[in-house]
Amino acid sequence: MPQVDIPSEIHEKVEEYAQNRGYSVGEAYAELVEFALRETERDDDDDLQSGIA
């Protein structure tokens, strides 16, 4: 699996989010990635609907 360098500011926010939600840090990162993928797909759909794509 590829390694990614994550800025410490981002990692701290993810750790805080995980702690507040009762998640492990890994679960918090997984949720973040899933959210980003959904938003990316939605942005693509918006482009198609507006005729930009």
Domain ranges of the chain: 24-53
pTM: 0.67
Q: What is the per-residue pLDDT across 1-53, written as a single tens digit (0 to 9) for each?
A: 778 899 999 999 999 999 999 999 999 999 999 999 988 887 655 555 555 55
Nearest Cα to 25, choosing from 44, 41, 6?
6
d(CA 53, CA 44): 8
First to last CA, the chain: 32
**pLDDT for 14-27, tens place per residue?**
999 999 999 999 99
